[in-house]
Structure 1
Amino acid sequence: MSVLLIEAFHGGSHKQLMDLLQEELQDDCVLYTLPAKKWHWKARTAALYFMQTVPASANYRILFASSVLNLAELTALRPDLGKLKKVLYFHENQLAYPVQKCQERDFQYGYNQILSWFMPEHKLAHLEKVIGVKRNGDAYHAEGLPGQQKSSALMKNSNTHCESGLCEAQPGLYTTQHEGLPSPLTVPARLNTSEVSESANPCQEEDKEHLTFNLSHILSGPDYQQRPLHIAWPHRWEHDKDPETFFKVLLKLKEKDLPFHVSILGEAFTEIPDIFSEAKKVLGSSVLHWGYLPSKDDYFRALCMADVVVSTAKHEFFGVAMVEAVYCGCYPLCPKALVYPEIFPAEYLYSTPEQLFKRLQNFCKRPDTVRKHLYKGETAGFSWAALGSKFRSLLAAEPREDL
């Protein structure tokens, strides 16, 4: 068990990555987790929990964790773990997370992330030498790296990882943003997998009748090309995914008597924005599916039945759900912001809610245009078949004395 995997929020894309690492490493790793609930509490206290839970071992060589964990605290509490080579995976940047209310921001979560990859001066110089970055104040600008926005600091890159406090490039893991992040599934190869999430929200029990996707309803009736446009929104039911904008656009389509169906496939947690219950009532018969699907098989089947997948996110550093939907044949519509321009060609991007409305309006009138469309972007590089060996190489590397 030479690789110690720690995940303080074992759900969603965090769990997918850990599952794939376990599969890749097989018997050479051990995993310790906390449930995907009460994220803020996990970010504050996970180090103390794992300090007590992870047993001491002389076999550990590498510690791999997500940035939910305050790595600085853990290594301070457990000096034996501090001696390991460390890989810290950033799913997001907490300093850039959008606030829901106009109130003073709690900087603790971003501060945790900074502490977990803080570098002393002599290592900053080494960083500049190794990966060719130049300092501009407190930010770093990558030189000659395709796909990187020039204004991006290293902290922004979701694929940034840290070895003993030094953020350093690995072959294939720090090129463009989209090449460095794992799309956890090659969908066609895994449509038959089924997994039940332990963190399914009891708040969605009232929608139990919608939890099974009605394939007979979809595959029967009018000719496939003549059915109403089917729109999917496969995101968490939280404010940073901006469900308000999405539903406002759908309600505007409804007001104009445009035909469409919608599937709301994301997972909900304790607090659900009010817009969901309000929109469900108004959308009525336009809703084909409403609620979290614990089975991956059902989830991907639902995506395969959709025509268009929409993101309205205000905070996204990769967007696994959007890429999975493209694998399943959906036409993506994403904001011309965040990570999306690095992944999707320009024709799949919109700048304003009005532009999103106009695109969907046209698709509602001519759904055959998206059903016949062949996606023009590249997706092969996101598959685990392409990225698994890069992670395996990273986790097989020995610590270097100059670090």
Structure 2
Amino acid sequence: MRVLLLSAYHAQSHALWAQGLQQSLPDYSWTELHLAPRYFNWRLRGNSLSWAFENRDILSQDYDLLIATSMCDLTGLRSFIPSLSRIPNILYCHENQFAYPESSQQQGRLENQMTTLYSALSADCVIFNSHYNRESFIQGVTALLKKMPDHAPFEKVNEQLQNSCVIPVGVAGAGLSPSKRMAGEQLSVLWNHRWEYDKGPDTLLSIVEACDRTGLAVDFSIVGQQFRNQPPAFSKIHQVISSSSSLRLKDWGFVEKPQAYLQLLSACDVVLSTALHDFQGLSVLEAVAHGCTPVLPNHLVYPEWFDSEYFYQHDGGAEAVLEMLLLRLQDKQGGDLPQPDVARFAWPVLAPLYKACIDNVLSRFVNCSVQDGRVS
């Protein structure tokens, strides 16, 4: 079976999903097209135009299935390339345009939301990476439709979206036995997220300042994907840690080599999230799979994956996080850091779920084609 895979905003987590999916389903013949993760608003609205006129030969080949990320303008692309409207398609939602925190950097928010909604409604199957993503999407769509002055198809849209399913992105290292941490007097804390406002760098700064103020013995590794424009909090974070008598900066910036990154995950004690939104928390799950103990806000997607012992009160300020880090330091001194199980996120566990979804879509498409008289 020939599958066309389209990733319109090929960020790191999207790339890991595409790679893992293809490796986990090797019996399919895959063709992948992706666009670099930059110029977000232009990319989201213009990907169908770019692909249709730059990659028409590839898109017009014979395929049995189309799988696209929710960043793709599926309706526009299928109108530009009519052959794509004649094969079944699956839309995979890494995120949604309704649950992002408000920012002055955002432009065209309504248009982005409508583009994603149209793609979801034109798909034969929509897969979300978490229930949190799915429910916040449906809630956002409902709120958006309430703004329509008339002719808002609430029931039909809600009915179609309720038929979507949830399958997470597979996690590297999940299901393996992580190395145990050695007892010690210094806690190693990892913050491994995109260096953007929605990952809470201002909160991270207040946590670093609180650790310095109380003299907590912490080694920080602040890593993750970086972009041309960075929130000013990062330079302040670097300054506070560098000038502190109790804090040490072990790693800073993007770790380019995958093996070096995995070694870093295996060396740290704690993975910290200060995110203002997270639809799956892939970077956290990767770190936990390699032995890190999570310290997480008690909202967003995290309660879906972890027990309450790993949470701090998300509106409790830096003091709430400081209390959790102090507890983890006590665990570290005793050599007994708690470790949640994330084996259910391993690709060998998830691959049969993806295959079952694909088989179901293909079966329904064939049955519909027979009823329409398109298959003898």
Q: TM-score, normalised by structure 2?
A: 0.79
For residues 271 and 346 of structure 2, what CA distance do their matches in structure 1 show?
19
Which of 323, 343, 346 in structure 2 is aligned with 1:358? 323
Q: Over residues 289-310 of structure 1, what are the superposed CA-to-partner deviations in whole Å (9 max), with x where a residue is unaligned?
A: 0011111111111011111111
1:367 maps to 332
2:299 maps to 337
What are the residue-to-residue correspondences of 1:234-383 with 2, within 5 Å?
A: 234-284=192-242, 286-351=248-313, 352-353=316-317, 354-364=319-329, 367-369=332-334, 371-375=335-339, 377-383=340-346
Q: Over residues 265-324 of structure 1, what are the superposed CA-to-partner deviations in whole Å (9 max), with x where a residue is unaligned?
A: 211112101111111011016110001111111111101111111111111111111111
Contact map agreement 1:24 1:392 (CA 8 A) in 2: no
Structure-2 change in CA distance of 1:288 and 1:65 (3 Å): same
How far does residue 103 in structure 1 lie from its aligned partner after superposition?
A: 8.3
Letter matched to residue 334 of structure 1: L
How far does residue 184 in structure 1 lie from its aligned partner after superposition?
A: 3.4
How far does residue 104 in structure 1 lie from its aligned partner after superposition?
A: 7.8
Structure-2 change in CA distance of 1:152 and 1:187 (3 Å): closer
Contact map agreement 1:10 1:33 (CA 8 A) in 2: yes
Contact map agreement 2:138 2:161 (CA 8 A) in 1: no
Contact map agreement 1:99 1:105 (CA 8 A) in 2: no
Letter matched to residue 392 of structure 1: K
Q: Over residues 192-237 of structure 1, what are the superposed CA-to-partner deviations in whole Å (9 max), with x where a residue is unaligned?
A: xxxxxxxxxxxxxxxxxxxxxxxxxxxxxxx942241000001000
* Farther-moved stretch of structure 1 (33-42 vs 332-341): 33-42
Aligned with 2:35: secondary structure? strand
Contact map agreement 1:258 1:365 (CA 8 A) in 2: no
How far does residue 260 in structure 1 lie from its aligned partner after superposition?
A: 0.7
How far does residue 40 in structure 1 lie from its aligned partner after superposition?
A: 2.2
2:24 maps to 24
Aligned with 1:237: secondary structure? coil
For structure 1, which runs of at least 5 residues remain unmatched after alignment?
Answer: 128-146, 158-164, 175-179, 192-222
1:392 maps to 355
Q: Over residues 6-55 of structure 1, what are the superposed CA-to-partner deviations in whole Å (9 max), with x where a residue is unaligned?
A: 01122311001111222234451111111222222211210111212142
Which of 74, 79, 82 in structure 2 is aligned with 1:76? 79
Letter matched to residue 291 of structure 2: G
For residues 119 and 60 of structure 1, what CA distance do their matches in structure 2 show?
18
For residues 156 and 293 of structure 1, what CA distance do their matches in structure 2 show?
37
1:39 maps to 40
For residues 277 and 374 of structure 1, what CA distance do their matches in structure 2 show?
32
What are the residue-to-residue correspondences of 1:46-61 with 2, within 5 Å?
A: 46-52=47-53, 53-55=55-57, 56-57=59-60, 59-61=62-64
Aligned with 2:224: secondary structure? coil
For residues 348 and 21 of structure 1, what CA distance do their matches in structure 2 show?
29
Q: Over residues 59-118 of structure 1, what are the superposed CA-to-partner deviations in whole Å (9 max), with x where a residue is unaligned?
A: 311110111111111112222111211100111111221122398863221111111123
Letter matched to residue 118 of structure 1: L
How far does residue 154 in structure 1 lie from its aligned partner after superposition?
A: 5.8
Contact map agreement 1:231 1:261 (CA 8 A) in 2: yes
What are the residue-to-residue correspondences of 1:180-259 with 2, within 5 Å?
A: 180-186=167-173, 224-259=182-217
Contact map agreement 1:3 1:395 (CA 8 A) in 2: no
1:66 maps to 69
How large is the RMSD of aligned CA atoms in angstroms?
3.0
Aligned with 2:172: secondary structure? coil
Structure-2 change in CA distance of 1:60 and 1:78 (3 Å): same
Contact map agreement 1:333 1:349 (CA 8 A) in 2: yes
Structure-2 change in CA distance of 1:112 and 1:28 (3 Å): same
Contact map agreement 2:205 2:236 (CA 8 A) in 1: no
For residues 364 and 373 of structure 1, what CA distance do their matches in structure 2 show?
9
Q: TM-score, normalised by structure 1?
A: 0.74
1:152 aligns with 2:115: no
1:115 aligns with 2:118: yes
How far does residue 58 in structure 1 lie from its aligned partner after superposition?
A: 5.5
Letter matched to residue 367 of structure 1: K
Contact map agreement 1:309 1:325 (CA 8 A) in 2: yes
For residues 231 and 251 of structure 2, what CA distance do their matches in structure 1 show?
18
For residues 333 and 386 of structure 1, what CA distance do their matches in structure 2 show?
25
Count of residue correspondences: 331
For residues 105 and 333 of structure 1, what CA distance do their matches in structure 2 show?
34
Contact map agreement 2:97 2:109 (CA 8 A) in 1: no
Letter matched to residue 96 of structure 1: A
2:373 maps to none
Structure-2 change in CA distance of 1:86 and 1:167 (3 Å): farther
Contact map agreement 2:41 2:107 (CA 8 A) in 1: no
Aligned with 2:279: secondary structure? coil
Contact map agreement 1:4 1:29 (CA 8 A) in 2: yes
For residues 315 and 262 of structure 1, what CA distance do their matches in structure 2 show?
22
